């Protein structure tokens, strides 16, 4: 019996309440973690009906699990989708979605700076099954549109991008994709459903690495695909056979993390904007990337399609790796790690995190300098984060030899 009226809920209320009630048990106020791998049926006919999907229920965890379904329900409602399928990781969701629909001789249009592992699927794995992948310049939306109009099975977008925070116009590109009957897939990990709902902008499938902002606590891997019932049936079928299933404990941790999603995103975005402005004033910073700055080259599109600009800021340090080596150890409120979206602030050079697989030349071609540092802003007090950066930059400036060589 499901009496929740999701349409009437605002996003912050959805993060707390949506999708949970029907999975509760024993009058507990929280969804249980159901670890049992299999389910007991004394009535073999009922068992058969459930196994054949004629009746709702559970038989085996690769097919479905109540805790995982509670997570799927919450994100489904937040993204305004008909259905959602949970995965073991963001890459599980991305690869399974692509392989659900692609066949030899299909064509995919995407951009050069998608997430590193996604890029590897495009350049290493899809060519093996004779899928033709065209990767356009992320800043050239005219080129992307031209490539779409030549025909494609999937248009794959990611916006904002990692780590340079480029913005793609989802509505415009989805419209072009519709004219050639392509499925529009958007990786919404950076924006989260609090700031951007691609399905309302014309996308067919929304993907998340739930490991990042949805979880928010850097202690569980997960992923999810959301879309129409029809498309998600195919994605679900791929998962039940290929097996990149979400673990119930991870589903629980991410479900719990999601309850504070809106609060976290608000605080992170507030600090991110102040940090971006602070960095712009630093003499040792060559450029700052944040879609909330009015100097960002696609600020207008970001303003149209996003409700907020998120918690990721990147910047180029003059002096490149020499300067990065000096700055990062000086930061007090910082994990220096290859992750993002957590409650703690995380600093990561692109060279050792998002683009570690690339050669120097490949990074240069993508416009990623050796001094590019991504900040995933946490939920600490803004003033403390700014003060921390201030003292670290002061130290960097005191290192005269380095400064001389930079200037």
115 belongs to the binding site for ligand PLP (CB under 6 A): yes
195 belongs to the binding site for ligand PLP (CB under 6 A): no
Q: Which is nearer to ligand PLP, 189 or 196 (CB)?
A: 189
Q: Which is nearer to ligand PLP, 91 or 231 (CB)?
A: 91
Which residues in the 197-226 window bind ligand PLP by CB under 6 A? Answer: 209, 211-212, 221, 223
248 belongs to the binding site for ligand PLP (CB under 6 A): no
Residue from 76, 107, 115, 169 carrying the catalytic annotation = 115
Closest residue to ligand PLP, Cβ-based?
90
374 belongs to the binding site for ligand PLP (CB under 6 A): no
| Pattern 135-164, ligand PLP, x by CB under 6 A | -----------------------x---x--
Q: Is the peptide bond before 164 cis (omega within 30 degrees of 0)?
A: no
* Cα 212–chain centre separation: 7
Instruction: List C-alpha distances in Å: 299 to 158, 189, 221, 373, 382.
Output: 16, 19, 31, 21, 23
Q: Which stretch binds ligand PLP (CB under 6 A): 34-42, 46-54, 84-92, 313-321?
A: 84-92
| CB-based contact 187:160 (threshold 8 Å) | no
Residue from 187, 204, 316, 322 carrying the catalytic annotation = 187
Question: CB 221 → ligand PLP: shortest distance, Å?
Answer: 5
Residue from 22, 62, 178, 277 carrying the catalytic annotation = 62
Question: CB 189 → ligand PLP: shortest distance, Å?
Answer: 4
Instruction: List C-alpha distances in Å: 52 to 41, 56, 241, 364.
Output: 14, 10, 14, 52
- Is 238 among the catalytic positions? no
Q: What is the largest CA-CA distance in the chain?
A: 80
> What's the alpha-carbon Rg for the chain, to the nearest Å?
22
Task: Return phi, psi of residue 157, to 5°.
Answer: -120, 155
Query: What is the b/e burial string over 129-156, where b = at least 16 CB atoms within 10 angstroms of the residue's CB?
Result: eebebbbbbbbebeebbebbeeebbbbb
DSSP 7: G
- Residues labelled catalytic: 62, 115, 187, 212
For ligand PLP, the binding residues (CB under 6 A) are: 89-91, 115, 117, 158, 162, 187, 189-190, 209, 211-212, 221, 223
């Amino acid at each position: 019996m499901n009496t929740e009226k999701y349409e009437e809920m605002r996003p912050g209320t959805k993060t707390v309440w949506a999708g949970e009630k029907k999975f509760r048990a024993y009058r507990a106020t929280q969804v249980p973690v159901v670890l049992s791998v299999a389910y007991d049926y004394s009535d073999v006919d009922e068992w058969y009906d459930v196994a054949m999907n004629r009746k709702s229920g559970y038989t085996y965890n690769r097919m479905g699990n109540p805790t995982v379904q509670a997570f799927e329900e919450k994100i489904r409602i937040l993204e305004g989708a008909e259905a959602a399928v949970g995965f073991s990781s963001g890459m599980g969701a991305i690869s399974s979605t692509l392989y659900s629909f692609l066949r030899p001789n299909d064509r995919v249009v995407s951009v050069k700076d998608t997430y590193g592992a996604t890029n590897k699927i495009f350049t290493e794995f899809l060519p093996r099954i004779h899928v033709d992948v065209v990767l356009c310049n992320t800043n050239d939306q005219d080129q992307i549109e031209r490539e779409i109009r030549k025909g494609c099975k999937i248009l794959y977008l990611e916006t904002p991008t990692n780590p340079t925070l480029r913005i793609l116009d989802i509505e415009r590109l989805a419209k072009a994709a519709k004219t050639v009957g392509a499925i529009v897939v958007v990786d919404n990990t950076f924006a989260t459903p609090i700031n951007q709902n691609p399905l309302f902008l014309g996308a067919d499938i929304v993907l998340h690495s739930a490991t990042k902002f949805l979880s928010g606590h850097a202690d569980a891997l997960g992923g999810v695909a959301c879309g129409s019932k029809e498309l998600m049936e195919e994605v679900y079928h791929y998962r039940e056979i290929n097996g990149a299933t979400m673990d119930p404990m991870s589903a629980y941790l991410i479900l719990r993390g999601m309850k504070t999603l809106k609060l976290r995103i608000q605080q992170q975005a507030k600090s991110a904007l102040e940090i971006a402005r602070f960095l712009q004033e630093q003499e040792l910073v060559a450029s700052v990337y944040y879609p909330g700055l009015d100097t960002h080259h696609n600020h207008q599109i970001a303003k149209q399609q996003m409700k907020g600009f998120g918690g990721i800021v990147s910047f180029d340090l003059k002096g490149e790796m020499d300067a990065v080596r000096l700055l990062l150890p000086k930061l007090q409120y910082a994990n220096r790690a290859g992750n993002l979206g957590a409650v703690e602030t995380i600093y990561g050079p692109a060279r050792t995190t998002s683009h570690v697989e690339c050669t120097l030349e490949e990074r240069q071609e993508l416009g990623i300098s050796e001094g590019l540092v991504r900040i995933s802003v946490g939920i600490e007090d803004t003033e403390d984060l700014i003060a921390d950066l201030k003292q670290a930059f002061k130290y960097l400036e005191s290192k005269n030899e380095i400064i001389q060589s930079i200037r």
